[in-house]
Amino acid sequence: MQPTPHLQHLKHDWIFAIFLVSGTILLANIVHAVTFFLIRLRKKDVALQKTSNRPSIYRHLNHPARWVFLTICLLSVFPWLPLPGQIGQPLRVALHILLVILSGWFAVGCVFVLQDALTRRFDLHAENNIRARRIHTQAQVLRRILIGFIVIIDIGCLLWTFPDPQLWHYGSGLLASAGVATIVLAAAAKPTVGNLLAGLQIAFTEPIRIDDVVIVQGEWGRIEEITTSYVVVCIWDLRRMIVPLSYFIENPFQNWTREHTELLGTAFIYTDYSVPVQALREHFAKVLEASPLWDRKVCSTQVTNLSERTMEIRCLMSARNASEQFDLRCVVREEMVKFIQENYPDVFPRTRFSSTPESNESSERAKAFSEMV
């Protein structure tokens, strides 16, 4: 039995549709592969090449661009597909919805590429990284704000994509009432909004930056992360202190690297009055000269206090950053104590007693009584 001409035509249409969709997928992947192959051949991302050999565009836009290319190609050939109306129209709407979602994903990737472009020349591990910490902090805050706007716009566009006019109204209302929503949210979530505004203030007035050395509530640590609502402080023993952003605006705290990373450190030595201070001063200079932790700027030895029993000697030194300063102070203490032990063991703090005539007579009587017994 021979198939009817209608069935043959329908069969040919479906074969053409399958061929067209397959060719579209192949073309989209070829365009994507060639484009990002050329991107990889360009100059590598210098700031991140220690952790990745791929440029920033490739790392953040490779996957979203693949799906955006594919969706656009499918939509471009969709009118030539032999699909019935009850299938074609919902499928077209689904592809448009998918394209809006993928475009939002692609836009978020572009924000990350922008952040990398702003920060690639500023190394946080440099010796003097004040400007680098400023740029990284501002870039992080800007990235989070832009991503928030992208999400809101993407949701509004997504509601516009649906064929229901009521959903169009919701999408328009979402974008048009952003100011009213902001006021309502500010009243209902005052701490959250306060932290958001504090984040903007911190980003541009810079009381803290990424990798700053701070003392918060008596804890020494580094600023590890600044989010839109809180700050993560990495304590010296690797604990993490989570502090609201508004804390750094409303409360006093110590920032050891606000203007520069160089710091002065002290090591105090308590000895007897008989110690030769000049000998200690000369040895302290030798200890600093031999240490790579010293930045060759400040070296001072002074007697800073006297008590009835001891003499306080302050060894003042400078270092490039807080970590090296702490280590240098420990080295100085060890070396100075070792020097005193080896050369002047009798000058460590001591307690003196003097005897009186009455105490001498009492001791002689006690001695005589012990001999009689």
Tens-digit pLDDT profile for residues 136-178: 877 887 888 888 888 888 887 777 776 655 555 555 555 555 5
Concatenate the DSSP letters of all residues of 335-347 into one string. Answer: HHHHHHHHH-GGG
Number of alpha carbons in the 13 Å side-chain half-sphere of residue 138: 13
Which has more pLDDT, 190 or 78? Answer: 78
How high does pLDDT run on average in the chain?
76
The pLDDT score that the predictor gives to residue 4 is 52
> How high is the pLDDT of residue 14?
64
Other C-beta atoms closer than 10 Å to the C-beta of 263 total: 21
Q: Give the span between the Cα atoms of 268 and 334, in whole angstroms.
A: 11
Mean pLDDT of all residues in 199-213: 79
Nearest Cα to Cα of residue 339 among 306, 307, 317, 315: 315
Please count the residues of the chain: 373
Angle between helices 165-176 and 130-161 (to 10 degrees): 150
Cβ(242)–Cβ(232) under 8 Å? Answer: yes
The mean pLDDT of 206-211, rounded to a whole number, is 84
pLDDT score at 172: 54
Percent of all residues in the chain with a pLDDT value above 90, rounded to a whole number: 17
Cα–Cα distances (Å) from 307 to 1, 220, 310, 336, in that order, read: 119, 31, 5, 21
Q: How many helices (H) and strands (E) does the chain have?
A: 11, 8
Q: Which of 104, 101, 195 is nearest to 141 (CA)?
A: 195
Q: For 271-296, what is the mean pLDDT?
A: 92
Q: Which residue is listed with tokens 């060894």?
A: 315
Burial of 142 (0-12, 13-18, 19+ CB in 10 A): middle
The answer to pTM > 0.85 is no
pLDDT at 152: 81
49 or 112, which is more confident?
Answer: 112
- pLDDT for the residue numbered 94: 81
pLDDT exceeding 70 applies to what percent of the chain? 71
Does the pLDDT value for residue 312 go beyond 90?
Answer: yes
pLDDT tens-digit map of 327-367:
999 999 999 999 999 999 888 777 666 555 555 555 565 55
